Amino acid sequence: MGKFTSLLVALTYVAVVLSVSITDIQGISWQSPFVGQTVNNLTGIVSAKGTSGFYLLGNKTSDERASNGLFVFTTSTAILKQVNVGNLISLSGKVQEFRSSTAPNDLVGTELGSPSNIVVLSQNNTVTPVILGQDRSPPMQLFSALDVGLDGFLSVPNNVSLIDSVNATLQPDLYGMDFWSSLEGQLVTIPGPIGTAFPNSFGEIWVHGTWGTTGKNSRGGLTMTFGPDGIPDGNPETVIVGAPLDGTKNPATAVGTGFSDITGVVLFQFGFYYVLPLTAPTVISVPNPVIPPSTIVPDFSDACAITFGDYNVENLSPTVAHLPTVAMHIANFLNTPDIVFLQEIQDNDGATDDGVVDANVTLTTLVNSIASFSNVTYAFTSINPVNDQDGGEPGGNIRTAYLYRPERLKLFGGSPAGGSLDPVSATATPSMKPHLNFNPGRIDPTNAVWDASRKPLVAHWETPSGEDFFTINLHLVSKDGGSSTQGNARPPVNLPVDVRTGQVSAVATFVESLLALNPNASVLVAGDCNEFVETRTVFAPFAPILQDIDAVAGIADVERYTYVFDQNSEQLDHAFISSAIVARGGVEVEHVHVNNWSPTLAVRASDHDPTVGKIRIC
C-alpha cells in the first residue's frame, strides 16, 4: 500500500504544482486541450461580472493566438458576491466547451464551470482591456480559412466543414473568426464605435471601431464588396454588441450612429462573437437626417430615354400604414419614373387567407396615393398567382407588378395578358420586334424552381415614337434558414441557393430566346433577387447575356447596397441590362436610401431601399 499511496500523492502533488494558466486552457485552437478536466490553483484577475458568471484575466504570453481571458460560469449568488472586479483570485473548476444553443450553427465557447476553492489573493488590481485598433486589429476581409471556393464565404457548396470539428490552429491575422476567438473571454475596448445597422429584436447593435475597415460607405456602414484578390469581403472587422453586463440597455442605433467607447468582454453566442459591454454606451453623433431624392428624373425631351424605379414595397395591401409613405417615396424620391418594378404587392385583402388573389384594389390605392403627391397617374399591370402558391406571407399572395406612365408607355401589340400558369414565349417577326404570346406573361410558371416563389413578370413595351423594349420583374426565392456569417458551418449555409440558381437559369433561358430573335433587343431585368452579386455562382447564367447596371453605370462598390442585415450593407435588389442597352451608353442608376438611412427601424416603410435608373432604348 505504501508505494501505491505515495505514487498517488506524488501525482496529486504534481497536478497541484503544475497548475495551468488561462492561456493554457484557451490554447491556440478552437477547443481547449483541457476540456473535461478539473483544474486547481488557476489564477486570474476578475475583469467583469454578469448574472451568469464572471470573467478572469490571466497573464498574457507572447502568443496572441491564446486568449488570456476566460468566462467562469456560475449562477451562485454566494460566489458572485465573493468575487469583485479587480480581485486576483485562485480557484478550481472544470474546463468545458459550451454551445449557447442547440442550433448546429453555434460554435462552442471555452469556459470554466463549477468554480470552487475560490481564494481572494489580493484586491484592487488594475484590469487593462485590450484596446482594439491599437493593441490588436481585426482582419478586414475573410471570416475563416474553411471558406474554400472562389466566392469565399459565399461559395457553393455550403457547410463543407465545421469549425469545431476541424479544430484548426487559429490564424487571427488572416481570419475574422480566428481573431475574435483569440480574444475569447478577454476584456476589450472598442474606441469610437460606429453603428453599421439597426438594432436587432434583442437590442443588440453591430459596430466597427476606429480601426482599419473596408467597404465603408458614405453613411458609415460597411458594404459587402469584393476584396482586392476577387474574393468576397464580408466585413469580419465588425462586431455585435450584446446586452450590457450591468443590466443597462443599449441605445437604439442606425447606420452611421456614433457611440461613446465601449469596454466589454468577448463571448461567442447565438451565431456570432459578441462584445458584452460593462455598461451601455451613449449616442454621441447621429448621421444627417436629410435623405436626398434621386437626381435621375424622367426626360420627356428624349424619346429614347426611359427611367425606371425598382422597389420591394414589403407586403403592400390597400390598408397598410406604410402605403402612403411608399407612394410619397415613388413621387418625391424616385421622381415618378416612366416605369416602376414593384415586388411584394399583396392581394386586395392582404394577409387574409380567403381565396382572394386580385390586387387591383391594392394597386389602385397605391396609384391614387402617388397621384396625391405628384399629379402623375400611373397605369398598372400584373398577373395573379394561383392562390397561396407563390410564397410570402400566408394569404397575402404577393406578386410582382409594374406601374407605368401611360403618356410614356403602353404594352406592345395586341397580345392578351397571360394567366397564372401560362408560359410566356417569343416568336420572330419581320420587324425584328419579337412577339410575345402573352403580354404581360410569366416565365415557365409550372417549372418546379418557382414552387412557393414568385414567377417573373415579362412585359413588352412601346413608346409613343414606336420604340420597344422588354422588362422582366423578378422576386427570387427568399433566403430562409441559412446559417450566420460567423457560424460553425463553413462556408455558411445559404438556403435555398440551388433554387435561386435554377430561377436565374430559367430567366436566362427566356432572355436568350429573345436575344436569339433579335440580338439587339433592349432587355431590362430588375427586382429583388434575394442574393448578392458576390455569390457569383447564382448569377452565372446571366453572365454571357446581361450586365449588372451598377457596374455599367460605374457606381462605387461601397455604394452598391439596398439592404442592411447583421453587420453589412448589402445589395439584394439588382438590375441587369442587355448588350444593346450597354452599347448605347447613357446608363445611370442610383440606390435611394429612403429606408436604410432612416433614424430608426420603426420609421422604415420597407426593409429594402428602392433604386432608380435610366437606360436608352434607341
Ligand X SMILES: *[C@@H]1O[C@H](CO)[C@@H](O)[C@H](O)[C@H]1NC(C)=O
- Residues of this chain that interact with ligand X (CB under 6 A) are 16, 27, 29, 31, 33, 40-41, 43-45, 58-59, 84, 86-88, 90, 92, 104-105, 117, 123-124, 159, 162, 167, 358, 360-361, 364, 373-375, 483, 489, 493, 519-520
Instruction: Specify the residue, 162 or 582, whose C-beta has the smaller distance to ligand X.
Output: 162
Q: Are 45 and 125 in contact (CB under 8 A)?
A: yes
Instruction: Specify the residue, 285 or 360, whose C-beta has the smaller distance to ligand X.
Output: 360
**Hey, which bits of 191-304 come out as E strands?**
194-195, 205-208, 222-223, 225-226, 232-233, 239-241, 258-259, 262-269, 272-277, 283-285
Q: Are 47 and 187 in contact (CB under 8 A)?
A: yes
CA-CA-CA-CA torsion sign (564, 565, 570, 571): negative
Instruction: Specify the residue, 215 or 298, whose C-beta has the smaller distance to ligand X.
Output: 298
Q: Look at the block and give the residue holding cell 420603426.
A: 602
Least Cβ distance, residue 101 to ligand X (angstroms): 12
Least Cβ distance, residue 229 to ligand X (angstroms): 27
3-state secondary structure of 279: coil
Least Cβ distance, residue 223 to ligand X (angstroms): 25
**Hey, which bits of 538-594 come out as E strands?**
546-548, 563-565, 568-570, 573-578, 588-591
User: How far apart, in Å, do the first and last CA atoms of the chain sit?
Assistant: 101
Instruction: Specify the residue, 52 or 167, whose C-beta has the smaller distance to ligand X.
Output: 167
Instruction: Specify the residue, 6 or 520, whose C-beta has the smaller distance to ligand X.
Output: 520
Instruction: Specify the residue, 31 or 505, whose C-beta has the smaller distance to ligand X.
Output: 31
Burial class (CB in 10 A: 0-12, 13-18, 19+), 221: buried
Least Cβ distance, residue 275 to ligand X (angstroms): 22
User: Where would I find the H helices in 355-437?
Assistant: 360-374
Least Cβ distance, residue 605 to ligand X (angstroms): 19
Instruction: Specify the residue, 431 or 446, whose C-beta has the smaller distance to ligand X.
Output: 431
Instruction: Specify the residue, 97 or 607, whose C-beta has the smaller distance to ligand X.
Output: 97
Return the number of other C-beta atoms located less than 10 Å from residue 608's C-beta: 24
Least Cβ distance, residue 428 to ligand X (angstroms): 12
Return the number of other C-beta atoms located less than 10 Å from residue 297's C-beta: 14
Dig out the grid coordinates for 347 from the structure. Answer: 392581394
Instruction: Specify the residue, 288 or 375, whose C-beta has the smaller distance to ligand X.
Output: 375
Least Cβ distance, residue 367 to ligand X (angstroms): 9
Instruction: Specify the residue, 45 or 306, whose C-beta has the smaller distance to ligand X.
Output: 45
User: Where would I find the H helices in 392-533?
Assistant: 497-517
Least Cβ distance, residue 375 to ligand X (angstroms): 4
Q: How many CA atoms lie within 13 A of 4 on its CB side?
A: 1
Spell out the long-range contacts of 162-166 with Cβ–Cβ below 8 A and sequence spacing 24 or more: 162/488, 162/489, 162/490, 163/30, 163/107, 163/488, 163/490, 164/30, 164/31, 164/107, 164/108, 164/488, 166/30
Least Cβ distance, residue 410 to ligand X (angstroms): 19
Q: Which residue is nearest to ligand X (CB)?
A: 33
Least Cβ distance, residue 550 to ligand X (angstroms): 24
3-state secondary structure of 70: strand
User: Where would I find the H helices in 288-343?
Assistant: 323-328
Instruction: Specify the residue, 250 or 307, whose C-beta has the smaller distance to ligand X.
Output: 307
Q: Are 33 and 78 in contact (CB under 8 A)?
A: no
Least Cβ distance, residue 89 to ligand X (angstroms): 9
Least Cβ distance, residue 522 to ligand X (angstroms): 11
Instruction: Specify the residue, 59 or 218, whose C-beta has the smaller distance to ligand X.
Output: 59
d(CA 523, CA 590): 19
Burial class (CB in 10 A: 0-12, 13-18, 19+), 58: buried
φ, ψ dihedrals at 512, nearest 5°: -60, -35
Instruction: Specify the residue, 33 or 416, whose C-beta has the smaller distance to ligand X.
Output: 33
Dig out the grid coordinates for 205 from the structure. Answer: 447593435
Least Cβ distance, residue 32 to ligand X (angstroms): 7
Least Cβ distance, residue 502 to ligand X (angstroms): 20
| Number of residues in the chain | 618
Instruction: Specify the residue, 62 or 124, whose C-beta has the smaller distance to ligand X.
Output: 124
d(CA 442, CA 424): 6
d(CA 514, CA 111): 61
Q: Are 203 and 64 in contact (CB under 8 A)?
A: no
Instruction: Specify the residue, 66 or 306, whose C-beta has the smaller distance to ligand X.
Output: 66
Least Cβ distance, residue 259 to ligand X (angstroms): 27
Least Cβ distance, residue 112 to ligand X (angstroms): 13
Burial class (CB in 10 A: 0-12, 13-18, 19+), 324: middle
Instruction: Specify the residue, 347 or 570, whose C-beta has the smaller distance to ligand X.
Output: 347
**Hey, which bits of 123-212 come out as E strands?**
130-131, 161-162, 187-190, 194-195, 205-208
